[in-house]
Structure 1
């Protein structure tokens, strides 16, 4: 299967409605800013779960990013503060104490929604059956809880895109487990079980490490982002001192640059080079059909009982278990085209933001 919504002169892209569940997170932040940059995308709401940082900090990050991008009216709701059955583990060493690296954003003027994230999922999808695509770039806790409340969510959603898992590929948290799934493996297992036996077009699209780690952001990509924003080349270079702050004339470019510098330093510290894996940004591009990929049907399950292998995702591509498929796993993608999409679209948003001046509070 190959999905790609290409620009055609004079033909507007079809409207897309996204309900986003995040644990923001540097790559979640880029994914959010990207969706805000797309004129055809309507962000129905953002729900927040604990993961990279605590759920309240996730919500504050999202509110601040919405304000920075001139979109403060999007609802932001807090959900699960902890996984279903195991203690919460966060990863501030990867994403920084506030989850957005070195970036420092002012306290947002808008408040967190009084609704719980589970209520948002259930009420919005019931009110708009067949219209909303869910995008989960953090642990699956909120979505699992929403499924307990409304088991018909898989049929009521237009689609679901998940960043998570790794298949025949090293994990990034344990040797076999990917971060989002490892934070709440019981939730992930419930979600995949809920999709078993559904038609192929209703199965979740799973963006796993073997393809998301190909979305490797390099210094040259940040340079091009600054140029696309009309703010001049943005220089984040390995020879510069750690923690150097951006002086970009674009507040949005400066924010992303300061966040991504932290992420690059983390990857270098762990022997992966001066790069940043933008897992969630790929998932966002895929969710709105703006980057090419292929996918394979599979039956997916998650290990929850073994201390050695907890959080490991297992895929049966050949039907050996005798169970119907419950996921479509991305099998190939095009990193170069994905970065063209991200840089051009986010750069255009940053350019518009500079022309409009600072966003109005509230």
Structure 2
């Protein structure tokens, strides 16, 4: 089993990613940390607890993290996750409660207790991770890998047409806290970016029959997922919006699912129209070798991914 800490900003797609992870025997979830991103950290923590309660997993501890990005103020997400942040499912308030320890300290302590064994699976702005690296840089070489929903690298049309940041060239998680992304990218940690190129690919969409199957399932989490898909479809978005973060979870469950290339990547932290853009240098010549080198996800087995999500959520 792969030991993971999941860092999230639980809106709709985080919720399904958490459910997928918790129902996958390949993963040993040591804890879930929360941060502001899609919503304020108070709401993302609540939605994380709601998601775990929905699948009866009180054994997975939840740790609340940072309320705002490292430097800038928390931006308002132009994409609504509904009144409750979960596509207007309006579940009862959770009876589960968060742990007392701060998320950043939990990350530090857990990595130190499991050197070389922990994968950080990040579905949110990288604020908590950057602060852990700043506070305890000695943990960086002790981390097995970071697999993150982060960036947009221009390898296909989806990376541009489905941009999720609040400008034409960015992905939401990096856009929210580009300074944190820069800290993590440049830290030297082994880093796989699962960007919009694969996470919002045009082949990542459930059709009507899939949604009906979810609605007819006996599993409450399947109905929860279907209602969120109806919510986004009703606002002229596509169902992939509920699946984005699950792509990173699937990449850890089955690394063969995604093809990657190495690239040197810069994070734009100053631009007025490109804030949060991840600029990948794929060149063979004149490469900017001073930029950090990371793994960039460029292709995925989308059918296999979608089958995995559907089957496990309905199981």
Q: TM-score, normalised by structure 2?
A: 0.91
Secondary structure of the residue aligned to 1:44 is: strand
Does residue 312 (structure 1) correspond to residue 277 (structure 2)? The answer is: yes
The aligned counterpart of 2:300 is 333
CA contact (8 A) 1:219 1:275 kept: no
Q: Which moved more, 1:61-70 or 1:164-173?
A: 164-173
How far apart, in 2, do the equivalents of 1:220 and 1:146 lie? Answer: 44
Q: Please state how far the C-alpha of 1:186 moved relative to its aligned partner.
A: 0.7
Matches within 5 A, 1:291-310: 292-310=257-275
The aligned counterpart of 1:80 is 66
The aligned counterpart of 2:172 is 179
Matches within 5 A, 1:80-229: 80-91=66-77, 93-168=79-154, 169-170=159-160, 171-173=163-165, 174-195=167-188, 203-214=190-201, 215-226=204-215
Secondary structure of the residue aligned to 2:209 is: helix
User: Which ranges of structure 2 fall in alignment gaps of 5 or more residues?
Assistant: none
CA contact (8 A) 2:104 2:128 kept: yes
Q: Which moved more, 1:99-108 or 1:79-88?
A: 99-108
Secondary structure of the residue aligned to 1:35 is: helix
Q: Please state how far the C-alpha of 1:187 moved relative to its aligned partner.
A: 0.6
Q: Which moved more, 1:214-223 or 1:306-315?
A: 214-223
The partner residue of 1:289 within 254, 267, 276 is 254
> How large is the Cα RMSD of the aligned pairs?
1.9
Cα offsets for 1:197-216 (capped at 9, x unmatched): xxxxx621100111111222
Cα offsets for 1:320-346 (capped at 9, x unmatched): 112365210011101111011111112
How far apart, in 2, do the equivalents of 1:55 and 1:276 lie? Answer: 20
Rg larger in structure: 1
How far apart, in 1, do the equivalents of 2:310 and 2:302 lie? Answer: 12
The aligned counterpart of 2:311 is 344
Q: 1:295 to 1:109 in 2, by over 3 A?
A: same
The aligned counterpart of 2:10 is 24
Secondary structure of the residue aligned to 2:137 is: coil
CA contact (8 A) 1:47 1:77 kept: yes
